[in-house]
Structure 1
Amino acid sequence: MIVNTACTSAFNALHQAAIQIAAGHQTEALILGVETFNPYALFGFESMQLLAPERAEPLGKDRQGMVLGEAVAALRLTSKPSLADYANPLGVWRVLAYANVVDGTNPTGATEAALLEACQSALRDSGLEGSDIHLIKLQAAGSPINDAVEMAALRRLFEVLPPCVSFKSVLGHTLGASCAAETALLLACLERGFWPQLNYVLEPDADGVVVSSDRPLAAAGVDTVLLVGLGFGGGHSVLILKRHPA
């Protein structure tokens, strides 16, 4: 199956695979996120003046836009984890809920109401409260407007904003592969207790953002994560994962 919903492709593919597994049609699925260099994408984003002249600075005080990246990433989804899977000290991660809200009001940007609706839907389906979320993986690509819209929606949802992280300062925006690549990197960071170190200044009000290797988030304290994926064309995706200990 090929799923192409721009930057939310991997999350939507994972959701489709989960439906097939839940229905008993499959026991396993491999979700591949692939994004290689494409001059049309580069020139297209450049023509819309969405690219940063130097570097991506998610939630940065002087952020100017995104930087494109390339990635190939794989996520394995199974209904029957093996003993080898549980041999990982962190155990395995279970998909608790997924929500996708499409709002094309701004084809190249996020909509605060749509992201809030997606987060609320995912939390409702998972049976969790906002206070149960230990970490948020942001979409934040470095856009002056979209970063602010994303944080505004999350601040409306959470009474106390959990620690957050964005990986686009080190990966760039890998477009169709971004949700797969950033999920894989997030779980690897949790396993090793290491986080990308920033070399730029965050917005003064961007509190609670875990982005520095000087302040690694202890994996033992993170059991539930919420991942945000925002896609060009108006896709607002939210995935909630919960760790099952070994």
Structure 2
Amino acid sequence: MSTSAAAITGIGMVTPLGVGTKPTWDGLLTGRSAAQSDSALQGMPVDFSCQVCDLDAPRRLTPRLALRLDRFSQMALIAAREAVADAQLDSEQWDATRVAVVIGVGTTSFERLLPEAVKVSAGRVRSVSPLMIPRSIPNLAAGEIALDLGIRGPTFAVSTACASGATALGVALLMLRCGQCDIVLAGGSESVRNPISSAGFSQLGALSTRTTEPARASRPFDTHRDGFVLSEGAAILALERPDHARARSVRPWALLHGYGASCDAHHPTAPPPEGRGAVDAMRWALHDADLSAADIGHINAHGTSTPLNDAAEAQALRTVFTEPPPVTSVKGALGHTIGAAGAIEAAATALTLRHQTVPPTANHEDPDPALCLDVVAGAPRAVRARAAISNSFGFGGQNASLILTTA
């Protein structure tokens, strides 16, 4: 199996803990949750979320551009610009035909689609905005990044539900390995802070109902977990062939070394109790990276805070690792960003390896004894990890695992 890696030379993040990689990382280290009441969800059974409160897209992008883009595209573009700047890349100097964009998006964008649907239902078809389609279709985040940076290589979206961001990074790794590209901007972006998403996930029983204490709602692997928290965010990673990065004298944050994917073929929304698909994805990622389970010093878990998912993932981790290394889930702090989650968590894993520090799992106060995991909680933990795994699982039985190593 090929063990050629991709160098992660730039990271851009937009999360409820802040716009930018540093405020997000600093916020994760505090172990606090970003969940709060959300006026966009007023009147819904679950009326709180994790929100990006300081996006200010008109200022960061220009008022005209911000008006044209839905929120998921705004966040993706802001994160992509940060990743490019962090990687010290110059869009005026690169070969634009050798640069690609792959963005994971879990759902279509409901932000401005819903008001337009109301117009259609009311018979006001001619008042529908001509921007409705280009604002809302999933591939527009990737397309807008390419347009903004003049990228002319392959540019597309991938959609594997809550695994989308991780899948995008895995696809980017394969594209670099096959020699099609020198650079890939890859990651995910999503905003599910809208009434349709809230109603749908609520009816599935997937959301936490702690409406009186939202900041304590998302509690991965905790005995009292009762569902996830709707969120929004984006993370874009600048990936390069290692020789390309070395030629520019750029030190990577980490290396993306392995990718594994699988399907549960079990149920549209529920994982198999033994986590067999997750086991397959993790084992394939290890094989792809030419590493063993014993080489992994940290696990960034999918950890949604739902009773079924956390139990299935814990079983899968114990199957692959026997005694799993220190585990964290950033969803305790950030909530569930759906299609962006895998990319945000891969970025957090790269930062963990660079700083050799695992951020705590917010709200993990009463460990579930049935899970038998070493969940980092309360405070950051220093580790000595050469390699880490980041897991992402989604509806449809989608599983994606990424192996990152120190640079």
Distance change >3 Å, CA 31–CA 217, structure 1 → 2 = same
1:131–1:160 CA contact under 8 A, matched in 2? no
**Counterpart secondary structure, 2:250:** helix
Query: For the residues of structure 2 that align with 1:153 and 1:16, how far apart are their CA atoms?
Result: 23
Aligned positions of 1:48-59 closer than 5 A = 48-54=204-210, 55-59=217-221
Query: For the residues of structure 2 that align with 1:124 and 1:188, how far apart are their CA atoms?
Result: 23
User: Considering only CA atoms, is the larger Rg found in Structure 1 or Structure 2?
Assistant: 2
Is 1:212–2:383 an aligned residue pair?
A: no
Counterpart for residue 222 of structure 1: 385
Per-residue CA distance 1:115-168 (angstroms, 9 max, x = gap): 111122222222211111100111111111110111011111113211111111
The letter for the 1-side match of 2:271 is A
Is 1:136–2:302 an aligned residue pair?
A: no
Residue 103 of structure 1: which of 243, 247, 264 is its match? 264
Q: Provide the TM-score with structure 2 as the length reference.
A: 0.55
Residue 39 of structure 1: which of 162, 170, 195 is its match? 195
The letter for the 2-side match of 1:21 is L
2:258–2:403 CA contact under 8 A, matched in 1? yes
1:60–1:203 CA contact under 8 A, matched in 2? yes
Deviation at 1:190, TM superposition (A): 4.4
The letter for the 2-side match of 1:61 is T
Structure 1: any 5+ residue segments left out of the alignment? none
Bigger shift: 124-133 or 181-190? 181-190
Distance change >3 Å, CA 197–CA 169, structure 1 → 2 = closer
Structure 2: any 5+ residue segments left out of the alignment? 1-155, 211-216
Counterpart for residue 87 of structure 2: none
**Counterpart secondary structure, 2:382:** coil
Counterpart for residue 113 of structure 1: 276
Is 1:195–2:384 an aligned residue pair?
A: no
Counterpart for residue 17 of structure 1: 172
Distance change >3 Å, CA 162–CA 196, structure 1 → 2 = closer
Per-residue CA distance 1:144-201 (angstroms, 9 max, x = gap): 1110111011111113211111111100010000011122223334444362364432
Residue 64 of structure 1: which of 226, 242, 266 is its match? 226
Query: For the residues of structure 2 that align with 1:198 and 1:49, how far apart are their CA atoms?
Result: 22
Tell me how large the CA RMSD over aligned residues is.
Answer: 1.8
Counterpart for residue 398 of structure 2: 235
**Counterpart secondary structure, 2:396:** coil
Deviation at 1:22, TM superposition (A): 1.7
Query: For the residues of structure 2 that align with 1:45 and 1:163, how far apart are their CA atoms?
Result: 30
Distance change >3 Å, CA 43–CA 71, structure 1 → 2 = same
Query: For the residues of structure 1 that align with 2:160 and 2:264, how far apart are their CA atoms?
Result: 13
Query: For the residues of structure 1 that align with 2:159 and 2:209, how far apart are their CA atoms?
Result: 28
Bigger shift: 198-207 or 154-163? 198-207
Aligned positions of 1:56-95 closer than 5 A = 56-79=218-241, 80-82=244-246, 85-86=250-251, 91-95=252-256
Distance change >3 Å, CA 222–CA 95, structure 1 → 2 = same
Q: Number of residue pairs matched?
A: 237
Q: Per chain length, whose mean CA-contact separation is higher, i.e. which structure has more relative contact order (CA < 8 Å, sep 6+)?
A: 1
Q: Provide the TM-score with structure 1 as the length reference.
A: 0.89
**Counterpart secondary structure, 1:106:** coil
**Counterpart secondary structure, 1:35:** strand
Residue 5 of structure 1: which of 148, 153, 160 is its match? 160
Query: For the residues of structure 2 that align with 1:242 and 1:41, how far apart are their CA atoms?
Result: 35
